[in-house]
Amino acid sequence: MPSFSLLWMYVARDIGRSKALFALIIFSLAVASTALLLTVGILDGFRVMLTDGERGWLGDIVITPQDDDRSIEQVRFIEEQLQSLPEVEAFSLRSRSQSVLRYENRKTTPFQILGIDPASDSRVTWLQSKIIEGTYFENSTADEVILGKNLSDSLIGSLDDNKSIHPGEDIYVLSSSGEYKPYRVRGIVDAKTFFPNWSLFFTKDRLEKIDASSRNSQLIVKISDEKQVLGVRDSLRAQFPGATVKTWEEESSYTRDILQTVTFITRSIHDLLVLTVFMVISIVIFINVNQKKKQIGILKAMGTNNSFIVTAYITQASIYAIFGFIIGLGLFFIFFWWSINHPIPLLIGDFRLQVSLMTGLSSFITLAVASIGGALIPSFLAARMRIIDVIRNNN
Residue 59 counted as domain residue: no
* 85 and 231 part of one domain: yes
CA-closest candidate to residue 180, choices 160, 205, 210, 158: 210
pLDDT for 146 = 94
Out of 181, 214, 241, a domain closes at 241
Instruction: Tell whether 40 and 95 lie within a shared domain.
Output: no
Residue 279 lies in a domain: yes
- Are residue 157 and residue 230 in the same domain, yes or no? yes
Model's pTM, two decimal places? 0.77
**Crossing angle for the helix pair 306-341 and 253-291, nearest 10 degrees?**
140
The string of pLDDT tens digits covering residues 154-198 is: 888 766 667 788 899 999 988 877 788 999 999 999 988 888 888
* Residue among 216, 302, 240 at smallest CA distance from 82: 240
Q: Which domain holds residue 91?
A: 67-241
Query: Is 62 domain-assigned?
Result: no
Number of domains, the chain: 2
Kindly state whether residues 41 and 154 are assigned to the same domain.
no
Judge if 331 and 366 occupy the same domain: yes
Same domain, 267 and 179: no
Residue 60 lies inside a defined structural domain of this protein: no
Do 106 and 10 fall within a single domain? no
Question: Is residue 251 one of the residues assigned to a domain?
Answer: no
Low-confidence ranges of the chain (pLDDT < 50): 1, 390-391, 395
Same domain, 283 and 378: yes
pLDDT given for residue 193 in this prediction: 80
Q: Is residue 345 part of a domain?
A: yes
358, with CB counted inside 10 A (0-12, 13-18, 19+), is exposed
Outline where the chain has alpha helix (H): 4-16, 19-58, 75-84, 118-124, 149-154, 194-197, 204-210, 229-239, 248-251, 253-291, 293-301, 306-341, 357-383, 387-394
Residues 218 and 262 grouped into a single domain: no
Cβ distance 57 to 243 under 8 Å?
A: no
Residues 192 and 318 in one domain: no
Q: Can you tell me the distance from the alpha carbon of 67 to that of 220, in angstroms, rounded to the nearest whole number? A: 18
**Tens digit of pLDDT for each residue in 119-148?**
899 999 999 999 999 999 877 667 899 999
Query: With contact defined as beta carbons under 8 Å apart, do 97 and 207 qualify?
Result: yes
Domain shared by 308 and 179, yes or no: no
Contacts of residues 252-260 at CB distance under 8 Å and 24 or more positions apart, as own/partner, are 252/54, 252/58, 252/195, 254/194, 255/50, 255/51, 255/54, 255/348, 258/46, 258/50, 258/348, 259/46, 259/47, 259/50
| Whether 96 contacts 218, CB under 8 Å | yes
User: Residue 310's pLDDT is what?
Assistant: 78
Are 31 and 156 within one domain? no
Predicted confidence at residue 384, as pLDDT, reads: 65
Of 241, 276, 294, which marks where a domain is finished? 241
Domain assignment present for 378: yes
Please say which residue of 211, 241, 271 terminates a domain. 241
Q: What is the pLDDT of residue 33?
A: 92
- CA-CA-CA-CA dihedral for 165, 167, 171, 174, to nearest 10: 110
In a domain, 58, yes or no: no
